[in-house]
């Protein structure tokens, strides 16, 4: 191999190695972070407990809870259980994922650790990409854990082993959780531009408000920030093809976030 060829090969390998290093460091940070731990507990145990509370209220004939659930209050079995979990997750999942992403990116500025990142051999764009990859893997883990918890709740409630139809109901949960997590990626970009946690949290709240308004106005079927919730709540009437619009959000804002990190300056 010539020197030029060796240099070229090294150039191709080094970025992958640096990205792996960034992912390993960010994964270790997340494993040690109380924010990520408690967000996981909130999303998994919290949603499971809240669902049990809603089911108990319906069984006790609480009129206000029954009125808020609407037709779903009369649906039993796996369909009713998953329907309630989907509504809770669609409303609270985006907020929880937005807070987690705001912390992952904003804490570097809030804690003053961003200056140390300029001394590392790992490009800052690779650090940002590593954070996003760790976040994506974590969201998949949360989706799997929540599905397991909901399946356990259904078995405890005596719904029995689920059939193909029940499995289809449960399968909506991990899809909704992962897509909801992807919709929170703008929070990472906002936390980077705003150099702190609050801009990311504010952006997440803004997305939730806009999504609620569009859903109420019944114009959100093909809007990425609304499509997953509408499909998960009413899969028989909402087109699954609308979910294909969701990746546009993490792709666009993930690229903007990575670009922003590659151009970070310390004198701001």
Is 0.85 topped by the overall pTM? yes
Closest C-alpha to 102, from 21, 187, 40, 165 = 187
CA distances (Å), origin 29, targets 96, 108, 222: 18, 11, 36
Q: For residue range 235-267, what is the model confidence (pLDDT) as tens digits? A: 888 899 999 999 999 999 999 999 999 998 876
pLDDT value, residue 163: 62
Query: What gap in Å lies between CA 144 and CA 159, rounded to an integer?
Result: 20
d(CA 239, CA 175): 14
List phi, psi (to 5°) of 128: -65, -45
The two tokens of residue 260 are 């922003």
Predicted pLDDT of residue 174:
94
With a cut of 70, say whether residue 211 has pLDDT above it.
yes
The sign of the torsion formed by the CA atoms of 239, 65, 48, 181 equals: positive
What's the pLDDT tens digit per position in 38-66?
A: 999 999 998 888 888 888 888 887 888 88
pLDDT exceeds cutoff 60 at 161: yes
pLDDT digits (tens, 9 = 90+) for 103-155: 999 999 999 899 888 888 889 999 999 999 999 999 999 999 999 998 888 88
């Amino acid at each position: 191999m010539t020197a030029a060829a060796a240099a070229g090969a090294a150039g191709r390998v080094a970025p992958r190695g640096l990205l792996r290093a960034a992912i390993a460091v960010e994964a270790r940070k997340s494993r040690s972070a109380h924010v990520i731990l408690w967000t996981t507990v909130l999303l998994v145990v919290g949603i499971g407990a809240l669902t049990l509370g809603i089911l108990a209220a319906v069984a006790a004939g609480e009129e206000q809870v029954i009125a808020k659930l609407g037709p779903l209050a009369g649906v039993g079995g796996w369909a009713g259980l998953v329907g309630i979990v989907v509504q809770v997750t669609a409303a609270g999942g985006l907020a929880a994922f937005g807070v987690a992403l705001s912390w992952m990116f904003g804490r570097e500025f809030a804690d003053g650790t961003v200056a140390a990142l300029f001394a590392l051999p790992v490009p800052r764009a690779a650090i940002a990409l590593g954070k996003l990859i760790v976040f994506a893997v974590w969201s998949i883990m949360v989706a799997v854990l929540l599905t397991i918890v909901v399946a356990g709740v259904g078995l405890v409630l005596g719904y029995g082993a689920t059939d193909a139809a029940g499995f289809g109901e449960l399968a909506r949960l991990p899809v909704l959780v992962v897509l909801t997590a992807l919709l929170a990626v703008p929070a990472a970009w906002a936390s980077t531009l705003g150099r702190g946690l609050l801009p990311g949290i504010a952006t997440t709240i803004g997305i939730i408000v806009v999504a609620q308004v569009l859903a109420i106005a019944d114009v959100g079927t093909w809007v990425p920030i609304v499509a997953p919730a509408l499909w998960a709540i009413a899969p028989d009437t909402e087109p699954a093809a609308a979910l294909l619009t969701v990746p546009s959000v993490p792709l666009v804002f993930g690229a903007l976030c990575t670009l922003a990190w590659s151009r970070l300056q310390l004198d701001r």
